[in-house]
Structure formats: structure tokens, C-alpha cells
Amino acid sequence: MGEKNDGAAPRLLSGGNPQIPKGEGDGPVQDYIAAMPGWKSEVGRRLDDLVTSTVTDVRKAVKWNQPFYGAHEGTWFLSFRCYTSYVQVQFWQGASLDPVPPKSSKHAEVRYLDIHEDDELDLDQLRSWVEQASRLPGATV
């Protein structure tokens, strides 16, 4: 279980990423989303809703100050985090998705989607990526 917040607002790390204690389950993820600054919190809520409605038995955790989502024990298919001007969605096996998410990584399998404040989310594409990613073996991170 995640640690309880003592009522103080979480500290924001570099780029405005909330510092949330590591923990398993929905509680720490909701704490993270609530602590996301400004418009980013709504993006986090929409991402969480989309993943939860697409993968009904999804596992959740906060690790390294970001929410993680998994479909298989011990592996993760997606996470996201705040940066100064965007929220970055990380598909841990993104190179295997069709189409491949737009931003590459120094890690061969990882791909990113950066969401900026005024971006119109393509929910159908996001849902497709989440469905595909949840069926892959996942990453152990």
C-alpha cells in the first residue's frame, strides 16, 4: 500500500513532476494525478480513465514518481509523467505497436507520446495503443 499524505501538498520535482511515495494500487496513482499541476491533472485523469476502461483488470502502482500500468504480474506496459510543458506517456514496448507512437527513446523498445496543453487527444488511437500494449509481454522496470 502507498503511504498516506500528511495533508501537505507533494513537492514538485524538476519539470513539475509530483514527488509521490512509491506504492501499489489505485490510491497512489490517484494521489499522483491530484498533485499534477494545473491542466496536467486533467490529462492524467483522462489517461487513467482510458487505461482503466480499456484494460479492466489493470494493475497500478507509483514507481519513480510516476504512475505505472500493468496487465501481467511483474511487468508494465505504460506510464506517464509531467514535464515543464507537456505530459509524457511512455509505452514500454512501444516499438511493437501499430502505428508506432511518434517519439523514440534511447531504449529500442520504448516509445513516447507527448501531450501539450492545447493538444486534441486522439482517444481512439490512444485506446488502440493501450489495448495493443496490454497484450504484449511488458517491461520489468
pLDDT digits 0-9 by tens, 46-82: 999 999 999 989 999 999 999 999 998 889 999 999 9
Q: Across all residues in the chain, what is the average pLDDT?
A: 92
Place of cell 489493470: 58
Domains of the chain by residue range: 14-135
State the Cα–Cα distance between residues 94 and 42, nearest whole angstrom: 24
pTM of the model: 0.90
Maximum distance among all alpha carbons in the chain?
43
Integer Cα distance of 94 and 9 in angstroms: 33
**Nine-digit cell string for 40:** 496536467
Pairing of strands 59-63, 86-91: unpaired
Q: Span 14-135: which CATH code?
A: 3.90.1150.200
Which of 12 and 9 is assigned the larger pLDDT? Answer: 12
In terms of phi and psi (left: phi > 0; alpha: psi -120 to 50; beta: otherwise), the region of 89 is beta
Position 112: which residue type? Y
- Residue 133, pLDDT above cutoff 60: yes
pLDDT in tens, 82-126: 999 999 999 999 999 999 999 999 999 999 999 999 999 999 999
Residue whose C-alpha is closest to residue 63's, from 89, 113, 107, 24:
24
How far is Cα 140 from Cα 4, in angstroms, rounded to an integer?
26
